[in-house]
Structure 1
Amino acid sequence: MNTPPRTATVVFIFITVVLDVLALGVVIPVLPKLIEAFLDGNTARAAEINGGFSTAWALMQFIFSPLLGAVSDRYGRRPVILISCLGLGLDYLLMAMAPTLAWLFIGRVISGITAASFSTAGAYIADVTPPDKRAGAFGMIGAAWGLGFVIGPAVGGLLGGIEPRLPFWVAGALALANFTYGLFVLPESLPRERRSASFSWKRANPLGALTLLRSHRELFGLAGVNALYWFAHYALPSTFVLYTSHRYGWGAQTVGLTLAAVGICNVLVQAVLVRRVVPLIGERRALLLGLAAGAGGFALYGLAPSGIWFWAGLPVFALMGFFGPALQALMSRHVSPQEQGQLQGANSSASALVGLLAPGTFSVVFAWSIDPAVGWHMPGASMLLAAAVTVLALALGARVTRREAASA
């Protein structure tokens, strides 16, 4: 029988996500430099290849997230999570020893495959948490992401200053330590009687997994809201550094401190506020609150005349952290226990697909907005576009959850 929610298992999944995201974040500051070293200091070519590495990573997420989700629905969450942790650790060791750029690329591809286990972690949370508690549990997962990305790049920068390959060794050690810990601590969350009767390639491929999102009208609408959210969110990684440097003259230190502040605010919202506020206002209102705050935050970022005004938008934008946990909780209600992995995989696959399209869009908009030839200097255009897309997500979210409001 399935046991009630267990604090130890949720804590382990939290630690798993923190360590895995930490391992990903540790290599962010040094990977472009390592690529550049293979190219004898050709920065322009290194930037192109690093972009190709990022695209390949997102493509692996798109392909393998639904596959691992479907495998976990059939064979259980524990083996998928543990094998992914083991694979991620060995992969980072491979990249630490990579003798050529080709080997480094292979390592990055494997990293995209093994990191697709995040969808299985989400399914694990859905297994061990009752529906009315899921928003808070998913909030902890979001906080783990924020914590990992606050600590990871900072540690990676410090270690990379000692030796460019050292962050890869540390990332591999973290992932392998997490595998060893889980081998002895992590119980299975999906009992045999609640698993899928068979494994289906039709459900496990990206397009097949996305058909699950069409199985229910509200589920499909929420998937659309999620796609719009992720599209808007890519404005930050695509243009943040260039935008703040161009408009406010920020250097690497100010950018790093600002990103740390963003991560800390995100952790506070998802780890503290979500668990307390969502039970009071409900998942639908939490979802709409998150989107409204996100639209307001993006608008503040795009209109801020100075760096101080930009920072004033940080706490507003942080409230967007209500969106993800509320969305996950609402969507998980519409599928059976043996489809939770497929649902999480479909969501990850959809966000990865958006990740193939959105960065280029925002980069082009930003370039256009500061191009002297255009004659209309508006450097915040990419942020304002993100605000408009988030408003569209807010309108769609209000529409597709009307039935939820009526039943409440």
Structure 2
Amino acid sequence: MATVNKCTADGESFSSKVINTVFVILLLDLLGFTLILPLLPSILDHYAQTGDVVYQSLQGVVDWFRAAVGIPMEKKYNSVLFGGLIGSLFSLLQFLSSPVTGALSDRRGRRPLLLLTTLGLLASYGVWAVSRSFSMFLLFRIIGGVCKGNVSLCTAIVADLPSLKARNRGMAMIGVAFSLGFTVGPLMGAYFALTSKTTGSVFYQTPALLALGFSAADLLFIWLMLPETFKKDVMASSSGFGASRDLLSPLSLFYFSAVTRTKDAPSKKKMKKLQVLGLVYFCYLFLFSGLEFTLSFLTHQRFHFTSMQQGKMFFFIGVIMALIQGGYARRIKPGHHIRAVTVAIILIIPAFILIGLSWNITMLYVGLALYSFAAAIVVPCLSTLVSDHGSANQKGTVMGILRSLGALARALGPVISSSVYWIAGAQTCFLLMSASFIVPLIFLNMAGKLKEE
């Protein structure tokens, strides 16, 4: 009995160490990632005003398309479309790289892959820091999109933990890291952009250097502190990549085909639930990311928010998310996650209606409060549900595929929403997209009715 208790205590101690380490790794990663959020509208305006050749060439394509379809001239909306295309490029590259990264981590271990992706992010921030042209800015986004595997790898690390209680706590702490990252990062980005202007530098240079510093610290922390959670005996029995089609074909990803090609494949009923949860995740992030991406452009154009005001808006969102994550989300009991996600998605419908129709700051922030609740609940809860599927040697693949579906949604969402925003205006965009949240609710209801073996 004493030996069993000692093993249990050792397991809990190891799980706590892993969770705390993952929290710091993800927080450093997200701080660097979110510095750019309040700056993006201003960055695009900067390249438009400086007459950058590549930017002007793309502007010519947009103007040609506008004239061809008879859309009225609204130059202020062009930056929204540009922003959507850039956001989609980043996410499309994540869509291609995430399942490969996850499958590689099932073969080589989590720690080596996390070091590799963080090194890639470090290089991308270095390109951003020295960039003085739109083409260099695009290169920064391309490298970052290929290497942004930290979230799926950290989720896989938590999914490796032995007990359900530890995994639930770990997923909640991942949510808290997101909340804090989106609270502090954008505000820091806006503040240091102002500092860059006072020193005569390009306004985004100091935030870029800060992102580079966060990434370097993250790399060092992973090297010194992160233990390998993927057991060697499991690693040896892992199937690794599987068919490349299973990791790159969108249809195969929706079916989680790579998960079925092992000797420990889940049952048909469990696979069916996994596939439906994948659809919920995709549909939700498709709509959410589209509206999320246009939010900063809406406030920039309707309320004339500066980068600092954008940072304060994200700070407000992050504080509410952190409170929800720390107070409510981590206490959601097993078996109640689908109900919590349902409530959160229902609340996001009036959230985006209020934001889209807002004519004053009070109305905007009421909508943002509801928006923040959904942002704090849906993705962590769905990640917890999905992490329970697949055997020990499939966790990286499962979470990599889920992350890839989310990246595909984030690639398509900004393009669609920014196009609607560009063609029909902000109110129509927000109203149409918010009404579409009924689709993930339907799939979520299907998932709740499925019984696993």
Same fold (TM > 0.5): yes
User: Which deviations, in whole Å up to 9, do the C-alpha atoms of 1:118-157 show, x marking residues without a partner?
Assistant: 2111101111252344344222212212321222222222
**Residue in structure 1 matched with residue 350 of structure 2 by the alignment:** 296
Q: Which moved more, 1:303-312 or 1:69-78?
A: 303-312
The match for 2:21 among 12, 16, 36 is 12
**Residue in structure 1 matched with residue 159 of structure 2 by the alignment:** 126
Is the Cα contact below 8 Å between 1:289 and 1:319 reproduced in 2?
no
Offset of 1:64 from its aligned partner?
A: 0.5
Compared CA separation, residues 129 and 270, structure 1 to 2 (3 A) = farther
Matched, 1:363 2:418: yes
Compared CA separation, residues 29 and 368, structure 1 to 2 (3 A) = closer
User: Which deviations, in whole Å up to 9, do the C-alpha atoms of 1:333-354 show, x marking residues without a partner?
Assistant: 2211211111111122112222
Q: Which moved more, 1:73-82 or 1:33-42?
A: 33-42
- In structure 2, stretches of 5+ residues that fail to align are 1-6, 60-78, 261-270
Compared CA separation, residues 350 and 74, structure 1 to 2 (3 A) = same
**Residue in structure 1 matched with residue 4 of structure 2 by the alignment:** none
Q: Which moved more, 1:155-164 or 1:47-56?
A: 47-56
Matched, 1:392 2:439: yes
The match for 1:310 among 357, 360, 364 is 364
**Residue in structure 2 matched with residue 374 of structure 1 by the alignment:** none
Offset of 1:311 from its aligned partner?
A: 1.9
**Residue in structure 2 matched with residue 344 of structure 1 by the alignment:** 399
One-letter identity of the residue aligned with 1:356: A
Matched, 1:57 2:90: yes
The match for 1:224 among 267, 279, 284 is 279
Is the Cα contact below 8 Å between 1:63 and 1:206 reproduced in 2?
no
One-letter identity of the residue aligned with 2:188: V
Task: Return the alpha-carbon distance in structure 2 between the equivalents of residues 100 and 315 of structure 1.
Answer: 37
| Percentage of identical aligned residues | 24
**Residue in structure 2 matched with residue 375 of structure 1 by the alignment:** none
Is the Cα contact below 8 Å between 1:92 and 1:168 reproduced in 2?
yes
Task: Return the alpha-carbon distance in structure 2 between the equivalents of residues 390 and 31 of structure 1.
Answer: 26
Compared CA separation, residues 139 and 381, structure 1 to 2 (3 A) = farther
Compared CA separation, residues 257 and 169, structure 1 to 2 (3 A) = closer
Q: Which moved more, 1:41-50 or 1:215-224?
A: 41-50
Task: Return the alpha-carbon distance in structure 2 between the equivalents of residues 206 and 159 of structure 1.
Answer: 41
Task: Return the alpha-carbon distance in structure 2 between the equivalents of residues 398 and 133 of structure 1.
Answer: 27
**Residue in structure 1 matched with residue 226 of structure 2 by the alignment:** 186
Is the Cα contact below 8 Å between 2:91 and 2:408 reproduced in 1?
yes
Is the Cα contact below 8 Å between 1:65 and 1:349 reproduced in 2?
yes
The match for 2:385 among 306, 310, 330 is 330
The match for 1:205 among 248, 251, 255 is 248
Task: Return the alpha-carbon distance in structure 2 between the equivalents of residues 306 and 154 of structure 1.
Answer: 22
Matched, 1:177 2:223: no
Is the Cα contact below 8 Å between 1:289 and 1:323 reproduced in 2?
no
Task: Return the alpha-carbon distance in structure 1 between the equivalents of residues 88 and 219 of structure 2.
Answer: 27
User: Which deviations, in whole Å up to 9, do the C-alpha atoms of 1:21-60 show, x marking residues without a partner?
Assistant: 1111223455676677677713874847665543332221
TM-score (norm 2): 0.78
Offset of 1:251 from its aligned partner?
A: 2.7
Matched, 1:241 2:296: yes
Offset of 1:365 from its aligned partner?
A: 3.1
Matched, 1:24 2:33: yes
The match for 1:282 among 336, 345, 350 is 336
Is the Cα contact below 8 Å between 2:114 and 2:149 reproduced in 1?
no
RMSD of the alignment, in Å? Answer: 3.0
Compared CA separation, residues 76 and 356, structure 1 to 2 (3 A) = same
Task: Return the alpha-carbon distance in structure 2 between the equivalents of residues 283 and 38 of structure 1.
Answer: 44
Offset of 1:223 from its aligned partner?
A: 0.9
Is the Cα contact below 8 Å between 1:297 and 1:314 reproduced in 2?
yes
TM-score (norm 1): 0.85
Q: Which moved more, 1:74-83 or 1:344-353?
A: 344-353
Is the Cα contact below 8 Å between 1:209 and 1:343 reproduced in 2?
no
Task: Return the alpha-carbon distance in structure 2 between the equivalents of residues 71 and 171 of structure 1.
Answer: 26
Offset of 1:318 from its aligned partner?
A: 2.6
